[in-house]
Structure 1
């Protein structure tokens, strides 16, 4: 009786099976040491299919808000954990990452961002809401390496003008932007000056000044998609004080007519909308930690949803 052939992990079909299994793992499981089991497992866990999207949205920094800049303190143990996670995952990815996603409350620093940029030169999409700890130097070091960057999701940006200027200089394919936070006139003017070819813009659940909205509709000539669903829209003085601002309950015909010229102008007209009520309660500065986990990832624009 002939001895039956036994399957080996080195078989390409078995490698495909391993990759499909590993694809169901989260980032903590993928970086737990699977590559040390055997050469076949190492090959599978380094497969480009697993690393085109590096989803770190499960990692939340251990932080405390402080009065002085950068207005957030991150525990050293938390920084070390994130650095370790980045080193392992970016080593396994072998520069295959094209989409990188961070948690809304993940506070990356300059060194970490530069490390990411050096090892993900083909990045096309970055979801990094919190830029509090990133300096002008950090912005320069990273953006200059991301020549193929097309899409960005951000919240608090200490140097928005400098960031957009660097994108304008280095990222010629840039076309999509999501702002998870207040959008004022100064920021819109920066967009008009630095990224006039912007095609997709989402401001959902943000505080938006009416003058800023008009600038967007009148001056971003190449814009095709604008999402202002659940926005807290205000009008009045543009000074930092918001005490004399008036809330716009309904968009007038002029705004709707201008918006109709776009390929897709997304608003929300449901008086019972939960997200609209939340945005209004927070006056356009959403406290995402108080609501369902992961809700900040949603977007009516499919290409900007996480």
Structure 2
């Protein structure tokens, strides 16, 4: 090697911990400012990052060909912000997101704009309203993950009956809740009955864990106070 020659290292050869430290020092505007239009297909926000409407819109403009998006657990994004971003992501196929109080507007926006959308992962509870929204607006969904969440038993049945193209369903470490008419109290379903297992048998993959000895299942039950 000649004296004074530069040693060039590729980003992919750097230690992962060093890369994390580097990128943690930038905000979303700085991270995407130098990115070429259309070069990003996957975007994973840090779990605890706070993202605003302006930040999400700016990101969508810089990454119009995005196929996979993982949202943070907490955010300041309003209805107009997320809908504006989804309209730019025509190629979006996969979304991981926290639960939202009023899901129809987002699911309808995805249905209208993201024709290849097939995978949804929810970090939050799934009740009848949410399940019915999925069936109404995303009937061609192929992969659904509700892992480590709370799901109503009737909502689970609605999903199995109403999503005919579903291939993979993940309810590992979920609290499955039976919600009878008042005044009866809701209760935890400790074991899936034969009717649900029969409906799920058509799936290519069905992930579930309802083991009393499972630490993750125990932890979720304690967190929910059930």
**By the TM > 0.5 criterion, same fold?**
yes
Q: More displaced, 267-276 or 87-96?
A: 87-96
Task: Give the Cα–Cα distance (whole angstroms) in 2 for the partners of residues 274 and 107 of structure 1.
Answer: 29
Task: Give the Cα–Cα distance (whole angstroms) in 2 for the partners of residues 248 and 158 of structure 1.
Answer: 24
Q: Is 1:221 paired with 2:161? A: no
Q: Is the 8 A contact 2:49 2:74 kept in 1?
A: no
Instruction: Give me the TM-score of the superposition, normalised by structure 2.
Output: 0.89
**Aligned position for 1:145:** 88
Q: How does 1:77-116 map to 2 (within 5 A)?
A: 85-95=27-37, 96-116=39-59
**Distance change (3 Å), C-alpha of 1:23 and 1:125:** farther
Q: Is the 8 A contact 1:200 1:226 kept in 2?
A: yes
Q: Is 1:262 paired with 2:195? A: no
**Distance change (3 Å), C-alpha of 1:284 and 1:215:** farther
* Deviations 1:243-270 (CA, angstroms, capped at 9, x unpaired): 8211111111111111111000111143
Q: Is the 8 A contact 2:97 2:121 kept in 1?
A: yes
Q: How does 1:109-128 map to 2 (within 5 A)?
A: 109-128=52-71
Task: Give the Cα–Cα distance (whole angstroms) in 2 for the partners of residues 31 and 92 of structure 1.
Answer: 16
* RMSD, aligned α-carbons: 2.5
Measured after TM superposition, the shift of residue 228 of structure 1 is: 0.7
Q: Which has the higher contact order (CA 8 A, sep 6+)?
A: 2
> Which 5+ residue runs of structure 2 have no aligned equivalent?
none
* Deviations 1:74-104 (CA, angstroms, capped at 9, x unpaired): xxxxxxxxxx511221123323222111233
Measured after TM superposition, the shift of residue 133 of structure 1 is: 2.0
Measured after TM superposition, the shift of residue 28 of structure 1 is: 4.0
The alignment covers a number of residue pairs equal to 224
Larger Rg: 1
* Deviations 1:212-252 (CA, angstroms, capped at 9, x unpaired): 0001111100000001111101112479x9x8211111111
Describe the SS at the equivalent of 1:178.
Answer: strand
Q: Is 1:18 paired with 2:18? A: no
Instruction: Give me the TM-score of the superposition, normalised by structure 1.
Output: 0.67
> Which 5+ residue runs of structure 1 have no aligned equivalent?
33-83, 286-306
Q: Is 1:274 paired with 2:215? A: yes
Q: Is the 8 A contact 1:132 1:157 kept in 2?
A: no
